[in-house]
């Protein structure tokens, strides 16, 4: 196979929906490199998670904004390459209905 990795795990933080923005929601998610942190708003306690890729798509004007093209370049292009070489490939996207998977 073209890649030595058989499995990659990625997380992408989506922007707020119009409803969430209208309701004044605040983010409890921070992305730094391949790490994603969640902060409990009640206690302030942080939980850290490590992934192969952590993408932040919350603010298009931010330096670390992950565009659709960037996510495809990092994940999707490898799948296409391997499929064209005759390998079986799978992509599993998990998330709430309507969240933009």
- Residues 99 and 78: their CA atoms lie apart, in Å, by 24
Q: What is the pLDDT of residue 1?
A: 46
Q: What is the pLDDT of residue 94?
A: 85
Question: Per-residue pLDDT averaged across 78-97, rounded?
Answer: 88
Q: For the segment 25-64, what is each residue's pLDDT rounded down to a tens digit?
A: 999 999 999 999 999 999 999 999 999 999 999 999 999 9
Direct distance between the N- and C-terminal alpha carbons of the chain, in angstroms, rounded to an integer:
27
Quote the pTM value: 0.81
Q: Where are the alpha helices (DSSP H) in 15-76?
A: 18-22, 68-71
- Residues 49 and 47: their CA atoms lie apart, in Å, by 7
Q: What is the pLDDT of residue 101?
A: 64
Q: For the segment 68-86, what is each residue's pLDDT rounded down to a tens digit?
A: 999 999 988 988 999 999 9
């Amino acid at each position: 196979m073209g890649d030595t990795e058989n499995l990659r795990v990625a997380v992408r933080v989506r922007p707020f929906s119009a409803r969430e923005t209208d309701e004044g929601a605040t983010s409890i998610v921070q992305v730094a490199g391949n790490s994603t942190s969640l902060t409990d708003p009640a206690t302030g306690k942080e939980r850290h998670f490590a992934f192969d890729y952590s993408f932040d798509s919350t603010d298009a004007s931010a330096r670390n904004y992950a565009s659709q093209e960037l996510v495809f370049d990092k994940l999707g292009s490898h799948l296409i390459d391997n499929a064209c070489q005759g390998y079986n490939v799978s992509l599993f996207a998990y998330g709430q209905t309507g969240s933009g998977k």
